[in-house]
Amino acid sequence: MTIRPLNAIDEVAIAQGLRTEPVLTYLANQIRNGDRITPYSLITAMDLSVVSSADISQASDTETPVVLNQWTADDLAVDQGDSLTLEYYVWEDEGRLVTHEALLRVADVIPITGSAADQTLAPDYPGITEANNVIDWDPPFDVDLGLIRPVDEELLGHLPYDA
């Protein structure tokens, strides 16, 4: 567990009897299970107990626990305990994006409801947020729109935007 110093937001929340929760959302290039790929997924780092009761105490040194939504688990044909590979960009000091990978272990699979459907966890991003379809994305970094499948577009049309 990382302990971070209190800031003004924490102090106001405590005074109001509320809890703060640090969250980081990032656009992954792809999640892979063998030759099955789910392209361009939003990955949110947060306290997993917010969305799942899965026991993550047995996390390994090589695989980070991840909670997947049911759609992604079905798309990748994975279940609790299975391993995945996450591919993502890292901005290098030289001013270029470099592809990195991380090994993940599925700790739990949950429905796209509640915190798992909270679109406010993702920031607005130019070239992506205002697009009505993934195929219309125009971000300031390289994306392979050829990876986008009809099923990806269909998912976006069915997400609960009022979560």
Q: Is residue 16 part of a domain?
A: no
pTM for this prediction: 0.78
For residue 151, the 8-state DSSP code is: H
Q: Is residue 7 part of a domain?
A: no
Alpha helices in 48-136, H assignment, sequence order? 70-76
| Closest to 71 (Cα-Cα) out of 5, 149, 136 | 149
Domain holding 70, by residue range, is 22-158
Q: pLDDT per residue over 96-139, tens digit each?
A: 899 999 999 999 999 988 887 888 888 888 888 888 888 888 88
Alpha helices in 70-148, H assignment, sequence order? 70-76
What average pLDDT score do residues 23-32 get?
92
For residue 49, the SS3 value is helix
For residue 90, the SS3 value is strand
Is the pLDDT at 162 greater than 60? The verdict is: no
For residue 76, the SS3 value is helix
* Pair of tokens at residue 161: 């935007």
* Pair of tokens at residue 27: 């656009």
Q: What are the beta bridge partners of residue 64?
A: 104
Q: Is residue 140 part of a domain?
A: yes
| Closest to 128 (Cα-Cα) out of 117, 116, 139, 115 | 139
For residue 150, the SS3 value is helix
Q: Is residue 11 part of a domain?
A: no
Q: Is residue 34 part of a domain?
A: yes
Count of all residues that appear for the chain in the document: 163
The count of structural domains within the chain is 1
Q: Is residue 12 part of a domain?
A: no
Q: Is residue 3 part of a domain?
A: no
Q: Is residue 115 part of a domain?
A: yes
